[in-house]
Structure 1
Amino acid sequence: MTVREYKTDEYFGPKKKLAITKFENATRFGKRRLGDHISDVLATELAKTGRFILLDRENVDKILEQLSFSQAGLTAGELQQIQLIDADFLLTGTVTHYSVTTSGSKSIFKKSKTQTAEVAADVRMINVRTGEIILSESGRGIAERKYEEVLGVGETGGYDESLEMDAFRAAVIKLTENIIPAIDEIPWSCDVVKVVETKVYIDAGKKSNLKIGDLMEIYHQGAEVKNLAGQILGYEEILVGSGTLVDFIGEDGAILRVESGEGFILPLICKISPGNSRQSGGIQ
C-alpha cells in the first residue's frame, strides 16, 4: 500500500506505540537541525495514518541520551533502559545526505533556473520487547522548483525555504511505506500489570483503539530465547487463559474479565484472540 492509501483507509485494529528519536546528522551541514526536521516529518506522516500511538519525542530523547545503537542489536543493559520508554517500537536513524543546488540557462530572450533539494536518510526500527532491529532501510527524496522568464516576463525566484521540507517529506514517504508493513507483521500485545481474582488489568485501553467486548488471550512470559551471539530473539510464551475486555481505566488502561484459566502469575502479556474479528488489525 502507498502512504496515501494508509491515510485514507480507516483503521480498526489496535494501535501500537511508537517512539521516534531525533535522527543524527551525518552530512557536512552538521550545525543544521536536519535530524530534527526528518524526525518531525516522520512523526507527522505516521500520525496521519491513524495506526499508531506516538510518544513524546522530548521524553524519549532524554531516556535514550546515553544509549548507542548498532545494527547488531542492543546489549542487555541497553534493553532494560530502552524498555523504560513504554513503547512497542523505537525508530532511530541518520540523515546521510543533504544538498541544495541551482542550475539554469540564459539566452537573449529567455532565462530559466531550477532549484533542487535532495535528502537521504537511513532508519532503524527496534522491537523494544526484544531489542531486535527488525527493519533497516534507506530513503531518498528530491524536490524541484523551476522558474522561467521570457522577454522579461515570468518568475526568476529566490530561494524557496519550503523546498527542503518537500525533499524531507519525499524521503520520509518512501521510508514510511516500508515501516508500516514491517510493524504489521508483528502481532499487537500489551502487558498485564495486575491480577485480582477474576480481573486482569492491562496497560492498554481507549487510546490503543481497544473496544469493550474484545477477546484476548493471556500468556505467561517465560525465559529469554537468545541466539548463539547472546542477542535476545524473544521470550517463551505459554498460553494460560483468556479474557474479555469489560471496562476502561482512563485512556491507557483496561480491565479484562477472565473467561478461562486461573492462578495467573506475572509477567503476563495479552494478545488479541484469533477469534476476534479485529485480530488482524485490518482496514475496512
Structure 2
Amino acid sequence: MEGKAFRAAVSKFIDNLIAKMASMEWTGKVASVEGGEVTVNAGKKTGLVVGDRLRVYGEGREVIDPDTKIPLGRRPGAEKGEIQIVDFFGEDAAIGKVLQGRGFAVNDIVRFGK
C-alpha cells in the first residue's frame, strides 16, 4: 500500500507542476536584427514551429520588490510589432520575418500574442 500511495503522491505532484508551468507565460529575446528578419534565442527545441507569430516588446525595466529588494522580473517595454517564425538554425534559434512594426533591437522581448 505504501508504494501505491507514494506513486499517487508523485503523480499528483507532477500533474500540479505541469499545470503550473502551463500557466506561466513564455518569453524569449531578440538575438539579432538584419533587414526584415529578426533572430530569436529560441527555436524547435523550445517548441516553436514555423508559422508561430510572436509579439515584440522593448526590453523594459527590471522591477524590484520594495520590501524584500528581490527582483520580481522584467516588465516588457512598449510593443514594437510582430514577427512570424519562418526558419530555424543552430542549437535552438529561429528566424522571424517582420510582419509589422519597426525599431526592433537586440534584447527586445518576444512572446506569443494574445
The answer to whether TM tops 0.5 is yes
Q: Could you list the structure 1 runs, at least 4 aligned residues long, displaced by more than 4 angstroms after superposition.
A: none
The yes-or-no answer on 1:193 pairing with 2:31 is yes
* One-letter amino acid matched to 1:202: V
| Preserved CA contact (<8 Å) 2:84 2:99 | yes
Corresponding residue to 1:267 among 101, 107, 111: 107
Q: Which runs of 5+ in 2 are unaligned?
A: none
* One-letter amino acid matched to 1:195: V
For residue 102 of structure 2, give the secondary structure of its aligned residue in structure 1: coil
Query: Which of 1 and 2 has higher RCO (CA within 8 Å, sep 6+)?
Result: 2
Per-residue displacement from partner, 1:20-67 (whole Å, max 9, x unpaired)? xxxxxxxxxxxxxxxxxxxxxxxxxxxxxxxxxxxxxxxxxxxxxxxx
Once the two structures are TM-superposed, the CA of residue 251 in structure 1 deviates from its matched residue by: 5.0
Report the number of matched residues: 112
Larger radius of gyration: 1
Matches within 5 A, 1:184-223: 184-223=22-61
* One-letter amino acid matched to 2:60: G
Separation in 2 of the partners of 1:205 and 1:196? 18
* Structure-1 residue corresponding to 2:84: 244
TM-score normalized by structure 1?
Answer: 0.36
Q: Which runs of 5+ in 1 are unaligned?
A: 1-115, 117-141, 145-165, 275-284
The yes-or-no answer on 1:143 pairing with 2:18 is no
* One-letter amino acid matched to 1:224: E
* Structure-1 residue corresponding to 2:94: 254
Once the two structures are TM-superposed, the CA of residue 215 in structure 1 deviates from its matched residue by: 1.0
Q: Percent identity?
A: 34
* Structure-2 residue corresponding to 1:232: 71
Separation in 1 of the partners of 2:27 and 2:88? 17
